[in-house]
Amino acid sequence: MNQNVIISKDIQAELSAAISAVSPDRLFVLADTTTARVCWPVVKDFPCQAEAQLITIGASDEAKTLETLASVWTALGEGGATRHSMLINLGGGMVTDLGGFAASTFKRGIAFVNIPTTLLSMVDASVGGKTGINFRGLKNEIGVFNEAMTVILDTQFLSTLDAPNLRSGYAEMLKHGLISTEEHLLELLRFDIERPDLEQLKQMVAKSVSIKERIVTEDPHEHGLRKALNLGHTAGHAFESLALAENRTVLHGYAVAWGLVCELYLSATRCGFPTERLYQVAQFVRETYGRFDFTCKEYDRLFEFMTHDKKNVAGVINFTLLGAVGDIRINQQASKDDIFEMLDYYREN
């Protein structure tokens, strides 16, 4: 990996060093309406970005569109950006995904830095080089792999986060626990996410990021091992897509948490994943994330959403499953009956 991931101790010095490494002719900061209000004041007076032009886009996943992307290209062009300019993405996963894609494509690519401000973007979206937008109702349908030059993870921003968004990010940490070690998974299951100790959380974020970094370094373009990071996402993305279609948008991490329960059930029935761990995780998810309500009438629609997953080959739905904690089984196929049985389990437990 060429990407420099920093667990921040002094964000001003770290950001100054990242900008100096490029010496851009123009500097831009991309934020959404929320991070422009809450997070931009933390960094806007740093001398290193005194000349920065702020670009603001709408908040939430509904803004992750071709129209928003075009508005960022337009703002860069009107602001005099050249191939030697730099974009700083200040925000959650939507901002780092869309901003990374905008930077990767404007003038065939300008330098960009990610400063993730949500737990989800710290442990998931900002690391690993995935960028993109939603298109035709499908999540992250258009995008490229391109790593930020520097990622600065500063957990001070987490104190501005509401409880649902903190829980949303924690679901990705739970996934990282499941694909790593029993010890780390149990640490996550025991942590009090309702009254979080931010210092302890900072150490757990560092551990979570290192798990993802190790996997991405071994498989940067998702040909093999990196598919481990998709645990919970085949079912989770289907839940997200259904919620979006029905105008009851859910947070990404909540959908992933519900997807983990589904895919751990498949793991138990197909790969021998211990049922005791399945029950433990399912109980944690139910208590922390509640339930996603749907009926058997939606099964066909959910199945259809799963057929659009980017991990599929020739229309066959591929899951990432586990034989045990840390025992990763990629490219596991499941029939329509298996998937309907999985959805039955989720609704009944």
How far is C-alpha 254 from the chain's CA centre? 12
Average pLDDT over residues 29-54: 96
CA 13 vs CA 4, 8, 209, 254: distances in Å: 14, 10, 21, 35
CATH 1.10.1060.10 fits 4-160, yes or no: no
pLDDT band at 1 (very low <50, low <70, confident <90, very high): very low
How far is C-alpha 58 from the chain's CA centre? 18
Please list, residue by residue across 53-65, b when 16 or more beta carbons sit within 10 angstroms of its beta carbon and e when fewer do: bbbbbebebebbb
pLDDT digits (tens, 9 = 90+) for 70-80: 999 999 999 99
DSSP 254-301: HHHHHHHHHHHHHHHHHH---HHHHHHHHHHHHHHH------GGGHHH
Query: Could you tell me which of 21, 237, 35, 16 has the C-alpha nearest to residue 121?
Result: 35
The angle that helices 275-289 and 163-178 make with each other, rounded to 10 degrees, is 170
Q: Are 76 and 11 in contact (CB under 8 A)?
A: no
pLDDT of residue 277: 97
pLDDT digits (tens, 9 = 90+) for 186-209: 999 999 999 999 889 989 999 999
Query: Could you tell me which of 152, 161, 165, 87 has the C-alpha nearest to residue 126?
Result: 152
Q: Is the dihedral of CA 229, 129, 170, 94 positive or negative?
A: negative
Token pair 């780092």: residue: 96
pLDDT band at 319 (very low <50, low <70, confident <90, very high): very high
Token pair 């960028």: residue: 131
pLDDT of residue 314: 67
Q: Is 301 a residue whose pLDDT tops 80?
A: yes
Query: pLDDT over 70 for what percent of the chain?
Result: 98
Domain ranges of the chain: 4-160, 163-348
pLDDT digits (tens, 9 = 90+) for 143-163: 999 999 999 999 889 988 899
Query: 163-348 sits in which CATH class?
Result: mainly alpha
pLDDT of residue 126: 66
pLDDT of residue 90: 97
pTM recorded for the entire structure: 0.85
DSSP secondary structure letter of residue 25:
S
Neighbours of 222 (CB within 10 A): 19
Q: Is 127 a residue whose pLDDT tops 80?
A: no
Distance CA 345, CA 53 (A): 51
